[in-house]
């Protein structure tokens, strides 16, 4: 009886090696990936109003709109198409992503608990003619995939706006599913 499976079994070691290669990129933990990217998550700041930076409901975490705040408390400010290039906007979106991850880590303790970045809504401060919101938001999306691999691939809307709090360049909120 066992012999009937011998041929299939002989492929097993090769299959294992293939899977090892395939999953190599995913085997890193989000924290290891952040470290590899040279990113140190900042200490999350507290909102000075009657709202909070995140609320968990069931296994979903809803994160408040975050902006590109820097370590010194200032923001990357200005409007795309007028004050900032697409590359500068993408950098602001990446920084906003780092700030969101800092909040997320403080919320869940360990980024390994993240099952999926589910849904992202990003607003890009720009003039009426600016139409490259997706390229700006890619600065955020590329970071999430670099940190979480497939789990970082999210549904996304990229929207333009004529103004944001403190005239910051972008504001991004997201919904995250936990294991």
Residues that bind a copy of itself (CB under 8 A): 47, 49-55, 57-60, 62-65, 79, 116, 118-121, 123, 125-134, 137-138, 141-142, 144-145, 152-167, 171, 173, 175, 177
Measured CA to CA, the distance from residue 25 to residue 33 in angstroms comes to 10
- Reduced to 3 states (helix: H, G, I; strand: E, B; else coil), residue 74 is coil
The interaxial angle of helices 86-108 and 133-148, nearest 10 deg, is 40
C-beta of residue 172 within 8 angstroms of C-beta of residue 66:
yes
Rounded to a whole number of angstroms, the minimum distance from the CB of residue 3 to a copy of itself is 40
C-beta of residue 112 within 8 angstroms of C-beta of residue 151:
no
Q: Which is nearer to a copy of itself, 25 or 47 (CB)?
A: 47
Name beta bridge partners: 123. Answer: 159, 171
Rounded to a whole number of angstroms, the minimum distance from the CB of residue 100 to a copy of itself is 11
Q: Which is nearer to a copy of itself, 5 or 56 (CB)?
A: 56
Q: Which is nearer to a copy of itself, 2 or 48 (CB)?
A: 48
Structure tokens at 59: 């296994």
Q: Which is nearer to a copy of itself, 5 or 166 (CB)?
A: 166
Rounded to a whole number of angstroms, the minimum distance from the CB of residue 33 to a copy of itself is 14
């Amino acid at each position: 009886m066992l012999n009937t499976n011998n041929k299939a079994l002989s492929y097993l070691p090769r299959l294992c090696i293939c899977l090892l290669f395939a999953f190599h990129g995913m085997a890193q933990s989000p924290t290891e990936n952040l470290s590899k990217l040279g990113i140190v998550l900042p200490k999350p700041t507290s909102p000075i109003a009657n709202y909070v930076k995140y609320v968990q409901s069931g296994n979903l975490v809803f994160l408040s709109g975050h902006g590109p705040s820097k370590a010194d408390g200032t923001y990357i400010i200005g409007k795309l198409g007028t004050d900032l290039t697409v590359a500068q906007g993408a950098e602001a979106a990446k920084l906003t992503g780092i700030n969101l991850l800092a909040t997320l880590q403080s919320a869940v303790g360990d980024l390994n608990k993240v099952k999926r970045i589910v849904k992202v809504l990003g607003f890009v401060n720009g003039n009426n003619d600016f139409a490259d919101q997706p390229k700006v938001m890619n600065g955020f999306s590329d970071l999430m995939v670099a940190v979480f691999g497939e789990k970082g691939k999210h549904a996304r809307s990229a929207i333009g706006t004529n103004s944001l709090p403190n005239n910051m360049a972008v504001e991004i909120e997201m919904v995250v599913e936990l294991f």
